[in-house]
Structure 1
Amino acid sequence: MGRIIALDYGMKRTGIAVTDELQIIASGLTTVDTRTLLDYLKEYFSKNEVDTIVVGEPKQMDNTPSESEALITPFLEKMANVFPHIPVEREDERFTSKMAFQTMIDSGLGKQKRRNKGLVDEISATLILQSYLNRK
């Protein structure tokens, strides 16, 4: 069984989380510059078996797509061409950034570390992945 990888796609940075081989535990992996995301994924997939890619789906409170969905759609098309054998699923990502920030506070991280937007993105990807696992 391969891993499931989750992406919190952003204009500048993308947070990445991954499961263990048994697809039970979601853990933050890293944050990468979005411009290099496909290259990072190619390298990661060459070394790890991945069954599914979960991409956060930003929605408004009324369930309509948020503005950032316009950035994600072209990336999803590129990804489908580069990795046609790996299914892509979407997971609602509403409030994940706020929950990630609260998680940082609750875990006792100081103000300096809470300013690390990359860490927020990585935690957000982990929350997206955990939500997907819970739903699955």
Structure 2
Amino acid sequence: MARILAIDYGTKRTGVAVTDELQLIASGLTTVDTHKLMPFLKEYISNESVETVVIGEPTQKDGSASDVEGNIQNFIKGFEVIFPKIPLKRVNERYTSKMAFQTMIDSGLTKKQRKNKALVDEISATIILQEYLYNK
């Protein structure tokens, strides 16, 4: 089987998570500067078999699209041109950053470690991927 990759897209940084080859376990992979995301994906996908890419869908409390959604749509258009055979799925990512931060607290990370926003993004991508796997 191929892996499933998840993206927590942000305007500055993007968290990336991936499954094992059996698609059972979601693990944080890395955080990438968003302007380097497409080159990172090109390299990763050329070395690993990726079946599906899951992208978080941020929404406001009232259910409307978040401000970053326009950027995500532009990314999706570019992704579909470069990787036309890899399906994209969207998963609601509301509250994933708060859940990621709570995960960091529960894991016993220090205050200094919890200020690492890149780690929050990576954990958020992992939560998005877990949600996808759970509802798949």
The answer, yes or no, to whether TM exceeds 0.5 is yes
Supply the distance in 2 between the matched residues of 1:78 and 1:46 (Cα, whole angstroms): 17
Q: Which runs of 5+ in 1 are unaligned?
A: none
1:86-116 deviation digits (Å, cap 9, x = unpaired)? 0000000000000000000010000111010
Opposite residue 28 of structure 2, the aligned amino acid is G
Supply the distance in 2 between the matched residues of 1:63 and 1:113 (Cα, whole angstroms): 32
Q: TM-score with structure 2 length normalisation?
A: 0.98
1:52-71 deviation digits (Å, cap 9, x = unpaired)? 00000001222221111111
Opposite residue 48 of structure 2, the aligned amino acid is N
- Note the C-alpha offset of 1:128: 0.2
* 1:13-92 alignment, distance < 5 Å: 13-92=13-92
Q: Secondary structure at the match of 2:119?
A: helix
Percent identity (aligned): 62
Opposite residue 8 of structure 1, the aligned amino acid is D
Q: Over the residues paired in the alignment, what is the CA RMSD in angstroms?
A: 0.6
Structure 1 residue ranges (4+ consecutive) displaced by more than 4 angstroms after TM superposition: none
Q: Secondary structure at the match of 2:7?
A: strand
Q: TM-score with structure 1 length normalisation?
A: 0.98
Give the total of aligned pairs: 136
Q: Which runs of 5+ in 2 are unaligned?
A: none
